[in-house]
A and B are shown apart, each in its own frame.
Chain A
């Protein structure tokens, strides 16, 4: 009895220490983010002098200053642009990636394994080898300076990661449902629409979620194609706070708008955490 209790106390102590360690490390890790949020409410001259988390004075000046935006265009416009880009991208990816995934996972056709292998190779391809010709192509369409170079590819299933994720998921669904529907006279498209899509809902949520995050956070494409302030996205607009030599003129406003820019990711993450973990573990999606 006594020995058993000792072992139990030992385990409890070890677990307690582990908890303590994990919590301490966790606080260290998210301290910069917390500090950023708190500092966005500090008067500009107190941001540097105060490494603490409790502000000595609270102001909303930074938000007012930051919201004025860039070149006469307010941050409201930038947020609207980003949200529009995300919404259309999600729609495009959901349609195009699920169509391709259904073909790969369920339909029999000549060359299926060949095209699947091709798709897997594009998954690892660095985007830079296609960058210049894509830019020349979009420029010849007169699309530089519009949302089209960012949105059009989403309707053509260019995010192979999502096709792969959906293929994996659809393969795991029971085939008997398709067969029963076929016997009942359902067409391939009917099966896709009425059986596969509803059952694949969790995977589709993961696709929508990561499409949102990647489009929201994308910077490179926005830098290339969103060339005028009225069509700037939030990330492209945040860059204007950092001068060309790297100096920042208004830190308070920069931190305030950065905090706002992170808000959607936060909200989505805490409301849809399950889908994150599923997305990452099935395909190794990078956040």
Chain B
């Protein structure tokens, strides 16, 4: 057995592993790698799903269509010789999404950390509280909650009913007012702080109680303890939550779609990036352009993730608290 041919031995050693891995490998090649290469190629074409035969290579045309307005263009001549129009709504979708990510992620994490710290005290009923606080996260991404959110923030909705009881008058329809619509979605995101909270809670439990006792003996007050013990020891967990929440915030779709009634809302005030991508790809069938948008999204998320990891060496501390 042991002196059989090297190839036979190689196969014998690896066959089991690759056999077990086969479903995942097929999935990876057919549903991830091949589609990625294909969509990168499509992003340089004017592929339209309804006119596949008319597809032509247009170089960076789709990318110029996105960012042309930065150079003051309104249209340009594509590699095919045809005129291409700049996407007037692309920059809006980018600013809506960035505003959302920059507002929702820090607010959500701050809120989650605050509540986690409240609950990390030795209190009774914490599992029950934790469950109740997790309910919005459990339901939050669903169409049902998005429908409810519309109802809450309409002109004659629940929020205004409460505000008028408190004596406010002349209340706007929060969803239909372009100044506030995006912020109702930020609020919806912050409301779903449950899973970040649970991760913070687990992280807080890892911090040895003696650190606080020792600091207390040395005369450090609660604020000092928070900044010099809790935050540094929790920083790897904060990094993890920050990256995960950032990645998913860039991809928000359902809530925006339902609240905007399938579009970007009033004056495109809730035209999220993925919503715009969906409209381009599946309303206008401009799938070459939608692919280009997807690749830009991947680049944005990739660069930001890399930047956060780069910066982490300045604010994340490892090695203690074990």
Chain A interfacial positions (CB closer than 8 Å to B): 15, 18-19, 21-23, 25-26, 29-30, 32-33, 35-36, 48, 51, 95-96, 99-100, 102-104, 107-110, 112, 115, 118-119, 122, 124-137, 153, 155-158, 163, 188, 192, 213, 217, 219-220, 223-224, 235, 238-239, 241-248, 251, 254-255, 257-259, 261-262, 265-266, 269-270, 273, 276-277, 280-281, 284-287
Contact = CB atoms under 8 A, between A and B. Distances in A.
Contacts of B13: 108-110
A126 B250 CA distance: 9
Interface string B39-53: 110100000010000
B95 interface: no
A258 B278 CA distance: 24
Contacts of A48: 156-157, 161
A132 B28 contact: no
Contacts of B248: 286
B90 interface: no
Given A22-B119, A33-B139, 14 more contacts: A32-B158, A33-B148, A100-B20, A109-B18, A110-B10, A126-B250, A133-B38, A135-B281, A136-B38, A258-B148, A265-B139, A273-B127, A286-B195, A287-B138
Contacts, number: 275
Given A18-B123, A217-B142, A269-B134, A284 B240 contact: yes
Interface range, B side: 35 or more
Contacts of A51: 158, 161-162, 165
A103 B19 CA distance: 9
Contacts of B81: none
A266 B17 CA distance: 39
Contacts of A136: 38, 49, 287
Given A125-B298, A163-B24, A255 B151 contact: yes
8 contacts: A103-B20, A107-B16, A107-B20, A126-B294, A126-B297, A132-B42, A156-B31, A286-B244
A179 to B, nearest CB: 15
A125 B32 contact: yes
A244 B144 contact: no
Contacts of B258: 239, 242
A270 B236 CA distance: 30
B301 A126 contact: yes
B68 interface: no
B265 interface: yes
B34 to A, nearest CB: 7
A258 B143 CA distance: 8
A27 to B, nearest CB: 9
B91 interface: no
B295 A129 contact: yes
B79 interface: no
Nearest to A188: B16
Contacts of A238: 143-144, 147
A115 B14 CA distance: 13
B300 to A, nearest CB: 9
A22 B144 CA distance: 26
A118 B24 CA distance: 11
B262 interface: yes
A48 B154 CA distance: 10
Contact of A133 (B34, B130, B165): B34
B39 A126 contact: no
Given A29-B133, A286-B195, A287-B195, A219 B254 contact: yes
B152 interface: yes
A238 B135 CA distance: 20
B121 A133 contact: no
Contacts of B251: 126-128
Interface string B246-285: 0110110110011111110100000000100110011000
Interface string B94-123: 000000000000000000000100110101
B56 interface: no
B23 A96 contact: yes
B23 A100 contact: yes
Contacts of A285: 195
B143 A219 contact: yes
Given A124-B305, A133-B39, A286-B244, A109 B14 contact: yes
Given A246-B261, A265-B138, A277-B198, A134 B119 contact: no
B59 interface: no
Nearest to A124: B247
A173 B43 CA distance: 46
A223 B18 CA distance: 35
A248 B240 contact: no
Interface in B131-184: 131-145, 147-152, 156-158, 161-162, 165, 175-176
B194 interface: yes
A15 B35 contact: no
A29 B138 CA distance: 13
Nearest to B49: A136
A33 B151 contact: no
Kindly list the 3 A-B residue pairs having the minimum CB-CB distance in the complex, ordered from nearest.
A156-B27, A109-B17, A246-B261
A219 B17 contact: no
B121 A15 contact: yes
Nearest to A224: B282
B58 interface: no
Contact of A96 (B24, B148, B156, B198): B24
